[in-house]
Chains A and B, each alone.
Chain A
């Protein structure tokens, strides 16, 4: 039966060709995974993935991010117990009376920061690990702080912040830093900031993961070259925007 023969032969031909293609596809995937596994690292993750994170950042910053996009806020009854998840840069006790905030060549006291309008917000603090805790923070808007103590700073591309011992440090893109819900916080859950949570002054930036919410800030700088960022060096996304 020539018709049947040709049908079987045709199927065999199609099948051979398709399985070769499938095999080639599998080889491409295996090759890509091998390349990912062996390529040079950029800050602890494969450089190609770092590029995609930068691409994602561009997409988000150009299409999504807006000062009008506010994070959800909650009633006081929703406040949970924020755990202390890291003490990088805080392993020694601090003499709060001697603490000063260094910015634009000045040494500010907490009272200087208290002269700015006090803003309270109850937000969902989100850890990069995946958990979150509703927490109340009170402090000064970083945008107000910048306007008063580092005027012109807002024209820079980045803000960098450090602990007194420089053991912990973050850098932020300016739009996120100037977001209306970004605070230099001196109170948490209705009481002065406790040492575990970064007394006397920490960052509350709910448009970012917790890793950017640096505690015990000693220095703030405004710059066009991106300052170092602790967790970026450990492989995390620099933007870390929510």
Chain B
């Protein structure tokens, strides 16, 4: 996380002041979601194992099958469909409630203004991405979230909502047949549910890499909410 850097003009020495980076509520939602989503993915894998048709490939050529046997052997995933379903349909409550609470909070607190992408976000995100990949591109001025973060974090919330909907469509395709039909039918809903999950895994990998890159202060800010920034010399 890059906070706004303020130019010190008033005093002899730059003075570090505390700046709030993340609201308490946001941090709670984030850190609750971490184990909850992890358990959803784990239990989802236990379910997916029982019927695992998805792959990357064309025709009879398969580049990668989700998942190869070595993966199941390595992770111990398999033969636990009943437990996986029970766990999935229990933790799903936490996932849904935490996610809905986050959305409601973000809407009513006005935080959405700092999260949702703006018109200029796409162009800026490109510059952020190029800068992050090592190109010498000047960064645009940053708010709480840079343009790439605005797009990614909004997308991940949207994905969460779609996961909830596609999950319900597979869970109750008879009672919620309208929802299942809306998502293209039972098999499509399962397909969408799976690839959304793969999306989280991809997000997680990039997210962790970015946190490591951004450094300890940024991680600490997600935990305690604050970081030191150079401020105006009050003395």
Size of the A side of the interface (Cβ < 8 Å), in residues, is 50
Bound-state CA distance A194–B87 (Å) is: 37
With A7-B17, A8-B16, A22-B223 in contact, is A128–B81 under 8 Å at CB?
yes
Q: Residues of B contacting A126 with CB < 8 Å?
A: 173, 186
With A10-B18, A65-B175 in contact, is A235–B224 under 8 Å at CB?
no
Q: Does A50 contact B228, Cβ atoms closer than 8 Å?
A: no
Bound-state CA distance A21–B172 (Å) is: 38
Q: Does B175 contact A60, Cβ atoms closer than 8 Å?
A: yes
Q: Any chain B CB within 8 A of the CB of A34?
A: no
With A11-B227, A237-B85 in contact, is A25–B31 under 8 Å at CB?
yes
Q: Any chain A CB within 8 A of the CB of B78?
A: no
Q: Residues of B contacting A130 with CB < 8 Å?
A: 47-48, 50-51, 190
- List B residues 199-230 near A (Cβ within 8 Å): 220, 223-228
Q: Any chain B CB within 8 A of the CB of A56?
A: yes
Q: Does B82 contact A14, Cβ atoms closer than 8 Å?
A: no
In whole Å, how far is A94's beta carbon from the nearest beta carbon of chain B?
A: 29
Residue of B nearest to A236 (CB): B82
Q: Residues of B contacting A2 with CB < 8 Å?
A: 235
Residue of B nearest to A179 (CB): B174
Residue of B nearest to A12 (CB): B224
Bound-state CA distance A53–B86 (Å) is: 7
Q: Any chain B CB within 8 A of the CB of A66?
A: yes
Q: Any chain A CB within 8 A of the CB of B101?
A: no
Q: List 9 A-B contacts (CB under 8 A).
A: A4-B16, A11-B18, A15-B223, A22-B31, A72-B180, A124-B186, A128-B85, A207-B175, A231-B82
Residues of B within 8 A of A (CB): 13, 15-18, 27, 31, 35, 47-48, 50-51, 53, 81-83, 85-87, 89-90, 93, 172-177, 180-181, 185-187, 190, 220, 223-228, 234-235
Beyond contacts A3-B235, A72-B185, A131-B51: 7 other A-B pairs, Cβ-Cβ < 8 A, are: A15-B226, A18-B223, A72-B173, A130-B50, A237-B86, A241-B174, A241-B175
8 tightest Cβ-Cβ pairs between the two chains A and B = A235-B82, A130-B51, A18-B224, A49-B86, A52-B90, A129-B50, A64-B175, A242-B174
Residues of A within 8 A of B (CB): 1-4, 7-8, 10-11, 14-15, 17-19, 22, 25, 29, 44-46, 48-50, 52-53, 56, 60, 64-66, 69-72, 124, 126-132, 206-207, 231, 234-237, 241-242
